[in-house]
Amino acid sequence: MIDQLQYNTEREHLIIPEYGRHMQKMINYAKSRETKEERNKLAIAIIAVMGNLQPHLRDVPDFQHKLWDQLYIMSNFELDADFPFPKPLRETLDARPEPLKYPQNYPKYRFYGNNIKTMIDVANTWEDGEMKEALVYTIANHMKKCFLNWNKDTVEDSVIFKHLYELSNGKINLKESHEDLRDSASLMRTKKKFTSNTKKNYKKNTSNTNRNRKRY
């Protein structure tokens, strides 16, 4: 009895496993018929069965086209029958997609991130005025915060101004500025306050969930 057991690994490979092994056997049987008329009848009957297995796709456009394509693919592109739609090509199915082009950015100061460089480029396109000045100082303060996230020690404003000058290719120069950036303590305090509130809300929601849980 054990010798008669057959594992799936020993059986014929299923091209589209979703339809099951019986469907694959029906298609193989249709391929073996001698007359084209008989193969056409069997192909139409198989398409009807395939459609019944996926009733949720009946309203999908080109549903019949998809079924005929799958029938031809499961026949290993060998079923000689009259297809109402162009037959799919094996070359098209086996073609490998072109590799995606990922942006390759290697910023000089990675701890600032790529968005800072984008913000600086946008600031360079603005005309001089109060709006641009406000944007530049906002960028500088954000750079200082990013620097402190990377290095917990304090950082001088002159360092941030120097990096901003380099990243803007010399177009933004705050080296002679008399206006100070936000102090390190206030920048880090904002982050700590946000983290603390997040933890409090999490504990509050967890306690409410436990309180409302039904006991059986």
Query: Mind listing the pLDDT tens digit for each residue in 50-69?
Result: 988 888 776 777 888 999 99
What pLDDT, on the 0 to 100 scale, is given for residue 135?
Answer: 92
* pTM above threshold 0.75: no
**Secondary structure string (H, E, C) spanning 148-193:** HHHCCCCCCHHHHHHHHHHHCCCCCCCCCCCCCCCCHHHHHHHHHH
**3-state class (DSSP) for residue 58:** coil
- The interaxial angle of helices 130-150 and 114-125, nearest 10 deg, is 170
pLDDT band of 216, cuts 50, 70, 90: very low
Distance separating alpha carbons of residues 50 and 165, to the nearest angstrom: 66
Query: Which residues lie closer than 8 Å to 83 by C-beta, 6 or more apart?
Result: 43, 68, 72
pLDDT digits (tens, 9 = 90+) for 81-101: 999 999 999 998 888 888 888
